[in-house]
Amino acid sequence: TLAADSAQYIPSDWFALIEIADSELDGVVRFARSSSDDVELLGQRISLLGLFDHPRISGAAAAAIPDLRAHVVNHGESRMARELVRADYRSALLVPLTSERSWRGLLVFASMQAGAYSADQVKLMANLSPTLAAGLARNAGATGPAIVSPEASPPVSDPLPV
């Protein structure tokens, strides 16, 4: 299963790549995998309303939400977090992807366990995010040069408060 295969790296019961619309209000789930046979939300438009309003997410290259249920109670404006809670996920790792090619995406790792993502895992994904964004933008057919500086160290967010 996805959970067993990913456990030693980034634990995931659900993983998705969301291509963000120019408005930043929603996006389309371009790729999704889950531990079950059900590929939840694949091809669907998902609301991102409220997600990028949170400064810990909008300014970070990666951010963990250790307790999605508490996050929804305290920050109910995040519709995507509410969708994850409805699907019984307890924690999430969000990796915003921004390329020099004007393409934007969001990687979402979700786990059935609260507190599933360590600071080291958040840092790993933050460090990988510029390279992932450049490659995905190239595959999306965006125009313009992709510039990824190996020295650039993107900001890493502490876990979001619950």
CATH code assigned at 86: 3.30.450.40
Q: Which residue shows structure tokens 């609260």?
A: 114
Q: What is the mean pLDDT of the chain?
A: 78
Element (H, E) at 110: strand 104-111
Q: How confident is the model at residue 136 (pLDDT cuts 50, 70, 90)?
A: confident
- pLDDT at residue 79 in the model: 80
Tell which wins on pLDDT, 143 or 17: 17
155 within domain boundaries: no
d(CA 8, CA 49): 32
Report whether pLDDT(59) > 80.
no
Least Cα distance to 96 among 146, 51, 62 occurs for 62
In the predicted model, is pLDDT for residue 154 greater than 90?
A: no
Rounded Cα gap, residues 108 and 63, in angstroms = 10
Whether 112 maps to a domain, the answer reads yes
For 7-118, where are the alpha helices, taking DSSP H only? 55-58, 68-74, 79-86
How many angstroms separate the Cα of 19 from the Cα of each of 1, 26, 53, 66, 94?
A: 25, 9, 18, 23, 13
How high is the pLDDT of residue 40?
67
Q: Is residue 145 part of a domain?
A: no
Q: Does residue 154 lie within any of the structural domains?
A: no
Q: What's the sign of the alpha-carbon dihedral 10, 105, 33, 157?
A: positive
Instruction: Tokens 């634990």: give the residue.
Output: 11
pLDDT of 3 > 70? The answer is no
**CB of 7 closer than 8 Å to CB of 116:** no
Range of the domain at 77: 2-140
| 80 in a structural domain | yes
- Confidence (pLDDT) at 142: 47
Domain-located, residue 87: yes
Query: Does any domain span residue 126?
Result: yes
> Cα–Cα distance between 63 and 126 in angstroms, integer?
8
Q: What is the distance between the alpha carbons of residues 33 and 157, in angstroms, rounded to a whole number?
A: 25
H or E element at residue 47: strand 45-47
| Domain count within the chain | 1
Note whether residue 34 is domain-resident: yes
Mean pLDDT: which of 8-12, 58-62, 72-76, 108-112 is highest?
A: 108-112
